[in-house]
Amino acid sequence: MVALATIAILVLVSFVVLTSNPRVLNQDLLNQCNTQWPLESPGPNITQREEFSVLLASPGTSPRFCVGYSSLIDNEVSIQLYGLVVPLGSSGGTISVLADPPTLTVPNDNNGQSPVGIAYAVFTLQISNSSHGFYVMDMPGDCPRLLAVGYSAAQVNESDFGTWVQRSLSSAGNPQIAPDFDFEIEGVWNLNATSLYVS
């Protein structure tokens, strides 16, 4: 009987050790996003023109996107998670950004060995009922991200964002954006996207 109890305890301890990874933080936050990212691609790029994406949201909603941060250095990285949404042209209304958690500590890069450390966070956009137009989102570690509120995919054009299209494209893969950590959108909730080509 004692031997069976000992075996059961060893199995339980082994299960806990194997299933918990101290290098993965806040994984439960991914449950807040029900759609994987990236969303569906527009199809083959026949024109070979550069492709850019625009997030689509509705006024009076609170869409979310779940993000994974991983360290690119030997030390853990502490990040203040803030977000800023800037209206373009005559766009109106207010859009604020809430982060959960507001501060994130990302495990180090494990000397480039597996498992790589990753910490998850959720950004929620609080879009007022009066918001309508085109915006640029600035998130820690991310390129400027383009957002259209109150428009369908067919109503969005490159010209709506002016020079911000090229700024967004040129920052992709630039290590100066976030030299110490990597930013990846893992999923979204109540948020759509469209892919367009630079003319």
Q: Where are the domains of the chain?
A: 23-197
4: tokens are 């069976």
pLDDT in tens, 1-12: 555 444 444 444
pLDDT in tens, 8-64: 444 444 444 444 567 899 999 999 999 988 776 666 666 666 788 999 999 999 999
**What is the pTM for the complete model shown?**
0.83
56: tokens are 């689509």
Q: What does 123-175 look like in DSSP terms, one character per residue?
A: EEEEE-TT-BEEEEEE-TTS--EEEEES--GGG--GGGSTTHHHHHHHHTT-T
Distance of CA 52 to the CA centre of its chain: 16
* Residues pairing with 86 in the sheet: 136
d(CA 156, CA 146): 11
Total H helices, total E strands in the chain: 2, 13
The DSSP bridge pattern shows strands 51-57 and 103-106 to be: unpaired
